[in-house]
Amino acid sequence: MAGRSVPPGRQEEDTTKDPGLKRSPVRPPGHLPSIDEARLAGLGPSSRGGSVLGPASSFSGRNSLAGPGAGPGGRRPSLGPVPPLGSRVSFSGLPPGPLRWVAPSYRTEPAPGERWEAARVQQALEAVLAARLCHACYSGAEAGPLARELCELLRVRLRELCPPRYKLVCNVVLGPRVGQGVHVGSRALWDTERDGLASAAFTNASLFAVAMVHGLYCE
């Protein structure tokens, strides 16, 4: 009670029962405990839902982001030294394999003896058209597939003859032969010193075919 005094021996006995308990300091009304004060006081369990308005908890947002392996102050321990800029890093944990260096060729034009030969390509075109269209008859429904087939045959045949580093563009025009006149032309932007063109025509009693192949040198 307020007016009753406590004997000295009883007071000493009460204080020695739990030496770990500390009396919280008197705070002015409206004072909110800080995180450090709540951690020292040990009030309430660590909970994400703890509010600073109620019983203060020792929960810290930094500790939650750091994870269970966080060190002092909520900082995650470093996994190792940071590799220098530009070094090779293995994400699988295995040591990086040996480097393979490929020397650049610095070739901007065909090597001697590897240029486009229009006469040789033209002979190959004529041979392919004659072998495939010798006994063919024109049909509007089959003209498209036949033209694509001829382009593929020409590409396979010319790939064996053309020098390396040349890209081929094949075009085939098919039509019925009914006494009309047909002019086939082409226009392309290319290098006159390195690129080339070859064309060939074939006719029989039923159809005509014009094949054009552009050879473009790839640097």
Q: Are 155 and 167 in contact (CB under 8 A)?
A: no
**How many domains is the chain partitioned into structurally?**
1
Which residues are CB-contacts of 99 (< 8 A; sequence separation ≥ 6)?
none
Question: Within 10 A of 54 (CB to CB), how many other CB atoms are there?
Answer: 10
Is residue 199 situated within a structural domain?
A: yes
pLDDT average, residue stretch 173-201: 87
Pair of tokens at residue 154: 């020409």
Question: Is pLDDT at 171 greater than 60 in this prediction?
Answer: yes
Is residue 16 situated within a structural domain?
A: no
Is residue 57 situated within a structural domain?
A: no
Query: Which residues are paired to 138 by β-bridges?
Result: none
Is residue 7 situated within a structural domain?
A: no
Quick one: 143 exposed, middle or buried, by C-beta within 10 A (0-12, 13-18, 19+)?
middle
Domain region containing 171: 118-180+187-217
- pLDDT band of residue 218 (cuts 50, 70, 90) is confident
Instruction: Give the separation between CA 211 and CA 209, rounded to whole angstroms.
Output: 7
pLDDT digits (tens, 9 = 90+) for 47-72: 454 444 444 444 444 444 445 555 55
Q: 75-100 burial string, b = 16+ CB within 10 Å, else e?
A: eeeeeeeeeeeeeeeeeeeeeeeeee
Is residue 146 situated within a structural domain?
A: yes
CATH code assigned at 193 = 3.30.1140.40
Q: Are 113 and 165 in contact (CB under 8 A)?
A: no
Question: Does this model's pTM top 0.75?
Answer: no
Is residue 59 situated within a structural domain?
A: no
